[in-house]
A and B are shown apart, each in its own frame.
Chain A
Amino acid sequence: MTPSRTFRAVRTVLLLAFAAYFFVPLLAMLDFSTQARGSAEGRTWDNWQFMVTDEDLRSSIIASLLLALFTVVLMVVLLVPTMVWVRLRVPRARGLVEFLCLLPLTIPALVIVVGISNVYSWVTYLLGDSPLVLTFAYVVLVLPYSYRAIDAALSAIDVATLSEAARSLGAGWPTVIVRIVLPNITGGVLGAAFISVALVMGEYVFASLLHFDTLPVAMAGIYRSNPAAAMAAALASMLFVALLLVGLTFLSRDRHRHDQGASR
């Protein structure tokens, strides 16, 4: 059934209206961040350079990137073996694991912070007050998204047969997981990693209430003294995350097409 011409015209107009609503704020940020200081005319990239030259901002960017890296590593190390183990040995626990992993999604992050703040006074006491201790909280935060991505990838392969074959050829459990299962679920793990990076880069609730200087917290702080530089940093982090996520959708589509081509 082909849509009528009126319908198509209305559709175009409406789609343009939505596009305006979603892109004008982004253009506004670009405009704001390239304005010269004060009311001077002209464009400048100074505010973008501020990201590299300002000590606080630079260290917060590094802290956020490191946090993202550690969160991803810890998430993979915790989640992949557990999920494989549950699938092979204790299938009855699967519902429980799934419930635990999806739980952070239903509890507002703010409530988790309130609950976790006492724990964190001990953590900072024992491990020092580097922002990197946030890794533990962030792993919990990214669990729901990572779980889904990895679960989908694991469902697509026959874990039981693969691991039995490897075991019968004399491989130990670490070998099975690192050399057999992991290469087969790369797509899912990459997806989980990208989403985790995106979440960690934008996370504000935990960091601000527990007083750690990550990128979003630093941006909110710098906004008071130098709004344009904060805008530049915000737009940059937004673009970084958007690139990751768009890359992810195209990656998964390509894999999908590839799989279809390979199937009988």
Chain B
Amino acid sequence: MVGAFQDGDGRPTLGNLDALTSDAALSALKGSLVLSATTALIGAALGALLAYLVVSLPTQSLLRRTTLAISGVLAQFGGVVLAFAWIATIGSVGIVTKAMDSAFGVDLYGSGWLFDLPGLVVVYAYFQIPLMVIVFAPAFEGLRPQWREAAVNLGASTWDYWRHVALPLLTPAFLGALLLLFANAFAAYATAAVLVSQGQPIVPLLIRQAITSEVLLGQANVGFALALEMIVVVTLVMVAYNLLLKRTSRWMR
């Protein structure tokens, strides 16, 4: 941590923080924020949908239990293996790429978008959606049937029930899960490290470049400064998450 405020010889300096406002650092930060926000939104929306589908199955259904178990596995799943899986699917010789080419003559691979930000969005969604299912399914289960019955007794339609009862109750949990997903995507590194070999579109890759660079000495401290920047972002997100969690937990007992 102290390293963020030192230069190459260990003298205290604020110069490394200046490096955070360089073009490369700013565009990496922007890339990271956009990537995390997009995948958090996609993951949260699709994950909530999947969670709802699963929860609407009967409690003892095998499909429901398997889906939840698989989600648990896939949410842990990331890194090198995940990158490989997607290269095998929609890489230059991936099976979906080849199938689309022979069936419709569409070049899915394009100019290698899989290995840049758009590709990262698709790949990150692969672990964000299951994570959302795990985090959010309990919120659906916490919606008591009695509340719905009460609403129906008072003359509410299904739409009224969702609009005035269920959605307001689910909103804090949803926002909390969204923040968690954001932090998760923001911190992910291994998948991107394997997929992206050129350029540094996101902060973690820029840190990699800074601390492993053999060309520019003294870059390591810039890496520390970037790491500090990441901590600040993640801390903000986590504080917000805890605040929301406190609000939600009142209803989810």
Where the two chains meet, the residues of A that have a C-beta atom closer than 8 Å to any C-beta of B are 1, 3, 7, 11, 14-15, 18, 21-22, 24-29, 31-32, 106-111, 114-115, 117-118, 195, 198-199, 202-205, 208-209, 216, 219-220, 223, 227, 230-231, 234-235, 237-238, 241-242, 245-246, 249-250
B204 to A110, Cβ gap below 8 A?
A: yes
B1 to A202, Cβ gap below 8 A?
A: no
A249 to B53, Cβ gap below 8 A?
A: no
Tell whether B230 is near chain A: CB-to-CB under 8 Å.
Answer: yes
Tell whether B78 is near chain A: CB-to-CB under 8 Å.
Answer: yes
Distance to closest chain A CB from B84 (angstroms): 5
Task: Provide the residues of chain A in CB contact with B76, threshold 8 Å.
Answer: 195, 198-199, 202, 241, 245
Q: Which residues of B (54-92) have their CB < 8 Å from a CB of A?
A: 56, 63, 67, 69-70, 72-74, 76-81, 84-89
Pick the most buried of A26, A114, A249: most chain B CB atoms within 10 A of its CB.
A114
Pick the most buried of B67, B84, B87, B235: most chain A CB atoms within 10 A of its CB.
B84
Q: Looking at the complex, which one of B94, B95, B207 makes contact with A114 (CB distance below 8 Å)?
A: B207
Binds A, one of B100-108, B165-173, B182-190: B182-190
A219 to B84, Cβ gap below 8 A?
A: yes
Tell whether B164 is near chain A: CB-to-CB under 8 Å.
Answer: no
Distance to closest chain A CB from B205 (angstroms): 10
A230 to B91, CA, bound (A): 15
In the complex, the chain A residue whose C-beta lies closest to that of B152 is A1
- From known contacts A28-B94, A202-B81, infer whether A114 and B89 are also in contact, taking CB-CB under 8 Å: no
Tell whether B223 is near chain A: CB-to-CB under 8 Å.
Answer: yes
Tell whether B21 is near chain A: CB-to-CB under 8 Å.
Answer: no
A28 to B86, CA, bound (A): 8
Number of interface residues of B (CB under 8 A): 54
Q: Looking at the complex, which one of B74, B129, B211 makes contact with A209 (CB distance below 8 Å)?
A: B211
Ordered by A's residue number, 30 sampled pairs between the chains whose C-beta atoms are within 8 Å are A1-B145, A11-B53, A15-B53, A15-B67, A24-B96, A25-B89, A25-B126, A32-B95, A106-B234, A107-B234, A108-B234, A110-B230, A111-B230, A114-B224, A114-B227, A118-B3, A202-B76, A202-B80, A202-B81, A202-B190, A204-B190, A216-B190, A230-B84, A234-B81, A234-B85, A238-B77, A245-B72, A245-B76, A246-B73, A250-B69
A202 to B88, CA, bound (A): 19
A7 to B69, CA, bound (A): 24
Tell whether B41 is near chain A: CB-to-CB under 8 Å.
Answer: no
Tell whether B33 is near chain A: CB-to-CB under 8 Å.
Answer: no
In the complex, the chain A residue whose C-beta lies closest to that of B204 is A110
Distance to closest chain B CB from A217 (angstroms): 8
A31 to B70, CA, bound (A): 21
A11 to B145, CA, bound (A): 20
